[in-house]
Structures are given as C-alpha cells and as structure tokens.
Amino acid sequence: MILGQSCLSFDFSKDDNKQPCPSSVSWCAIDGKRLEVAVEGKRQGVIKKKLNTEASRLKICKVELFKKFMEICDTKKIQLREKCDNRSLTYLDVKSLNKEYVRSWEILRQHFKTWTLKDNNLLLFFSK
C-alpha cells in the first residue's frame, strides 16, 4: 500500500469562519406544544406575508415569555413596582427590577467578553 499527501488545497474544505446553524429545535411545555422548529429566530413554516407578525414568534422569544410572565403577575395579583400599573412597565424595566439578575448577568459577561450586545431600545416593549 502506498500513501501519499498532496500540497494542493481542496476547494470544498471546511474553513475557520464557522457560522452557527440558522435552524434550531426548542422543547418546551407551553400551550400544549412540545417543541418548535425555528429558522433564523422565526417559526418554521410561516409564510412570507406573516414573517414579522405574532404568528411567526416562537413561544420562547422575549415577547412571548414577557407576556406570559405578566399574565401570571395579573393572576397572582403581584404588583411589580409600588404605585405603578404593571402594564406601564417595559420588558427592560421589569428585568432591571431584579437586582440579583442584573448583578449575576454583569458577572457572567465579564467571563464571556465576546457575548453580543443588543441595543437597549430593542427591550423597550410592553406586554399587551
């Protein structure tokens, strides 16, 4: 048996510029659904016309989780801030109320320096 090695490069070889897969599967027990398949952060199978609507949202997205959290607060009669209607609070307001979470997140980010940062304006939405 003869083994050989070539110095030619293979055009289809993997490179160092790895990209994450745009598809994902999430398992959760929300509203009777056991799993959701997502493509680029949107529910798989959503038609183009409904791409940026509520129909395309995953049950584990920030908006849907916030909505569910606020429903629980309403049901349990939990007031998040004194003398303030819960519905007047944004997602960012509610996250900021949890000082332990904010502190833990800051500590975590010190170790994950390349973690992507999003504009806080993207967190200024309300629960309907």
* pTM, entire model: 0.75
Q: How confident is the model at residue 75, as a pLDDT? A: 97
Q: How confident is the model at residue 119, as a pLDDT? A: 94
**Range 17-46 average pLDDT:** 86
Q: Which residues of 107-121 are buried (b: 16+ CB within 10 A; e: fewer)?
A: eeeeeeeeeeeeeee
How far is the C-alpha of 55 from the C-alpha of 61, rounded, in Å?
12
pLDDT tens per residue across span 33-76 = 788 999 998 999 999 999 989 999 998 999 999 999 999 999 99
